[in-house]
Every structure is written in structure tokens, then in C-alpha cells.
Amino acid sequence: MWGRPECAVLCVGYFSWIHRCIN
């Protein structure tokens, strides 16, 4: 999951979006 830079950026953005949605 964290092997590729674009995947890391995507994962970070995804979790930020989840955090915004929950709160």
C-alpha cells in the first residue's frame, strides 16, 4: 500500500476525507 508515492498520497488524502466526514 505504501510502496508507491502516488499510493501514499492517495491513502493520506482518503483518510483526511474520512476524518472530515466523521467530524
User: Would you state the cell numbers that stand for residue 1, as one nine-digit string?
Assistant: 500500500
Residue-wise pLDDT tens digits, 3-23: 677 777 887 888 888 888 877
3-class SS letters over the chain: CCCCHHHHHHHHHHHHHHHHHHC
Rounded-to-integer distance, Cα 5 and Cα 18, Å = 20
What is the pLDDT, as a whole number, of residue 15?
85
pTM of this prediction?
0.35
What is the pLDDT, as a whole number, of residue 18?
82
What is the pLDDT, as a whole number, of residue 3?
63
Q: Binning pLDDT at 50, 70 and 90, where does residue 2 land?
A: low
Rounded-to-integer distance, Cα 8 and Cα 23, Å = 23
What is the pLDDT, as a whole number, of residue 1?
52
